[in-house]
């Protein structure tokens, strides 16, 4: 009982450190407030208006009005015969949404975050390739990642946001924000290069959940491995709900976005309740947000099917002892080992490498093989 109480106290202490540090950090960065969209505007237009006059009459930035008039480089008279195909209002909504997205970003911080991601992931990749990621070091790496990419550098950008925010923005205004697509492409490339590496070691929420799960494991809590068929079905339905609700005018993740734990001042009451439940669940179930709700997690699971570096098994060394499968925090190692079902998300944590007593499991670019017939037949 005392061991369990220490585990819960450690988890609460970690959460308090994250929240307190994030409050301080967001204040130092001077986080920009979220801006309202154009849907609330009542547009004023009379024939013959210039883009500048239109901007003044509607309290719009000049560049937004110019872009809506389909002339970014100058301020011409508006020609009704050249009205954008989707109409003036739709153009204003789209261009204002893009303007607000750009204005809400701290581009210096975002650039720094990507540089630090590449550096940190490169170090972890080297350690994992050499089989050096074990127990205490793994926990310190997760802790460092949560502090660096979450507490110090904030909730945005995140892998999840590249999918969810893109859907919500497009559904609400028809706008596509190019920097977000670039970030999505970079994250997917990292997934393909090294199995789900951005989720595994760089996602500020993913590493926090993973660290809490390690607390639960070392504290002797009873932990569970839900079937992948169940978790992935829930995740597909969650993505469908995000898409449908976005086109109905609602961001169902926004109100409870757990990434906002790294920007606590904008987390709603419902958000606090959800985050509390999520972090508590992380003590008992491995990465519940990633497996059940994350839209990028679903995209990453598909992309990891062609990952260059991934967990592989050398069956000539494997003694079929099952140590790697037991050490794995989810059901994925059993699927990789026996190749008898769909392979779930692998977060490249290295537990299986450390657990194998025969050096049969590695993180390599070798192609995964099918086990010899009868290799895992029950005696």
Question: pLDDT per residue over 315-368, tens digit each?
Answer: 999 999 999 999 999 999 999 999 989 999 999 999 999 999 999 999 999 999
In this structure, are 335 and 227 located in the same domain?
Answer: no
Asked whether residue 237 falls in the same domain as residue 334, the answer is: no
pLDDT digits (tens, 9 = 90+) for 278-321: 999 999 999 999 999 999 999 999 999 999 999 999 999 999 99
Does residue 322 fall inside a structural domain? yes
- Residue 211 counted as domain residue: yes
Can you say how many angstroms the Cα of residue 344 is from the centroid of all Cα atoms in its chain? 17
Whether residue 140 is found in the same domain as residue 195: yes
Checking 218-223 for CB contacts under 8 A at 24+ apart, the result is: 218/7, 219/3, 219/4, 219/6, 219/7, 219/10, 219/283, 220/3, 220/4, 220/7, 221/4, 221/7, 221/283, 221/284, 222/284, 223/283, 223/284, 223/285, 223/286, 223/329
Which domain covers residue 79, as residue numbers? 38-97
Peptide bond into 304 cis (omega under 30): no
Answer whether residue 370 is part of any domain: no
- Is the same domain home to 299 and 313? no
Place of tokens 């919500």: 168
User: How far is the C-alpha of 108 from the C-alpha of 238, rounded, in Å?
Assistant: 33
Same-domain check for residues 58 and 119: no
d(CA 144, CA 201): 10
Is 377 a member of any domain? no
What is the residue whose two structure tokens read 């074990």? 134
**Residue 182 belongs to a domain:** yes
Going residue by residue through the chain, which has 379 residues, state the pLDDT in tens, using 9 for 90 and above.
788 899 999 999 999 999 999 999 988 887 655 544 444 557 777 777 777 887 788 888 888 887 777 644 444 444 544 545 556 777 888 888 898 899 889 999 999 999 999 999 999 999 999 999 988 999 999 999 999 999 999 999 999 999 999 999 999 888 999 999 999 999 999 999 999 999 999 999 999 999 999 999 999 999 999 999 999 999 999 999 999 999 999 999 998 999 999 999 988 899 999 999 999 999 999 999 999 999 999 999 999 999 999 999 999 999 999 999 999 999 999 999 999 899 999 999 999 999 999 999 999 999 999 999 988 886 4
- Strand partners of residue 77: 50
Q: Are residues 68 and 132 in the same domain?
A: no
Q: What's the domain count of the chain? A: 3
Cα–Cα nearest to 284, from 351, 354, 214: 214
Q: Using the 3D structure, point to which of 281, 303, 325 is the last residue of a domain.
A: 303
| Residues 93 and 140 both lie in one domain | no
Residues 135 and 274 in one domain: yes
Q: Are residues 266 and 328 in the same domain?
A: no
Does the residue 373 lie in any domain?
no
CATH number where 340 lies: 3.30.70.20
Which residues face 364 on adjacent strands? 310
């Amino acid at each position: 009982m005392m061991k369990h109480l220490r585990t819960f106290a450690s988890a609460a202490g970690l959460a308090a450190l994250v929240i307190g540090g994030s409050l301080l950090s967001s204040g130092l960065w001077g986080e920009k407030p979220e801006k309202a969209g154009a849907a609330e505007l009542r547009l004023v237009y009379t024939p013959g208006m210039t883009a500048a006059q239109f901007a003044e009459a509607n309290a719009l930035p000049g560049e937004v009005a110019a872009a809506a008039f389909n002339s970014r480089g100058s301020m011409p008279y508006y020609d009704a015969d050249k009205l954008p195909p989707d109409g003036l209002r739709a153009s204003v909504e789209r261009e204002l949404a893009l303007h607000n997205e750009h204005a809400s970003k701290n581009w210096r911080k975002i650039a720094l975050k990507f540089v630090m991601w590449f550096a940190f992931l490169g170090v972890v990749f080297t350690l994992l390739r050499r089989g050096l990621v074990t127990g205490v070091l793994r926990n310190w790496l997760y802790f460092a990642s949560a502090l660096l990419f979450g507490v110090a550098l904030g909730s945005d950008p995140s892998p999840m946001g590249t999918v969810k925010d893109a859907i919500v923005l497009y559904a609400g205004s028809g706008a596509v924000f190019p920097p977000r697509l670039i970030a999505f492409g970079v994250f997917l490339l990292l997934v393909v290069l090294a199995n789900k590496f951005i989720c595994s070691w760089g996602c500020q929420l993913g590493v926090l959940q993973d660290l809490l799960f390690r607390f639960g494991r070392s504290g002797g809590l009873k932990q569970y491995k839900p079937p992948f068929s169940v978790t992935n079905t829930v995740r597909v339905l969650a993505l469908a709900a995000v898409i449908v609700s976005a086109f109905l005018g609602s961001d169902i993740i926004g109100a409870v976005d757990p990434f906002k734990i790294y920007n606590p001042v904008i987390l709603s009451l419902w958000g606090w309740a959800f985050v509390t439940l999520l972090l508590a669940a992380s003590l008992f179930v491995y990465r519940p947000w990633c497996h059940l709700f994350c839209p990028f997690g679903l995209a990453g699971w598909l992309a990891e099917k062609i990952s260059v570096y991934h967990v592989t098994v050398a069956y000539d060394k494997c003694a079929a002892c099952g140590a790697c499968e037991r050490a794995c925090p989810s059901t994925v190692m059993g699927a990789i080992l026996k190749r008898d079902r769909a392979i779930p998300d692998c977060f490249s944590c290295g537990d299986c490498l450390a657990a194998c007593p025969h050096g049969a499991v590695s993180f390599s670019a070798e192609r995964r093989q099918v086990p010899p017939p009868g290799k895992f037949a029950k005696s």
